[in-house]
Amino acid sequence: MGKRRIKNEQKTVRAARADGEKTNKKRTKDKGMTNKERTKNEQRTNKERTKDEQKTNNERRKDGDKVNLTQR
């Protein structure tokens, strides 16, 4: 069986690259942030968090916020 040609005589990846054309292999640059970058942005240290996020449980109770206590 010979090689099948796909719609309008599509070139092989190697041939397309040689002619300086874009191949449709993983276009990660177009997608923006990668998952790795996203998690890095979400990982903030305690110092970087706002004071609002650093309330003590008693302060939360005064403000009427929910207090999550882990059960042991």
> To 5 degrees, how large is the angle CA 65–CA 60–CA 70?
85
> To 5 degrees, how large is the angle CA 26–CA 32–CA 37?
100
DSSP string, 16-38: HHHTTPPP-S--HHHH-S-HHHH
Whether the predicted model's global pTM rises above the 0.75 cut: no
Which tens digits make up the pLDDT trace of 19-68?
777 766 655 555 666 777 777 766 666 666 666 566 777 877 888 777 77
Half-sphere exposure of 57 (CA within 13 A, CB side): 4
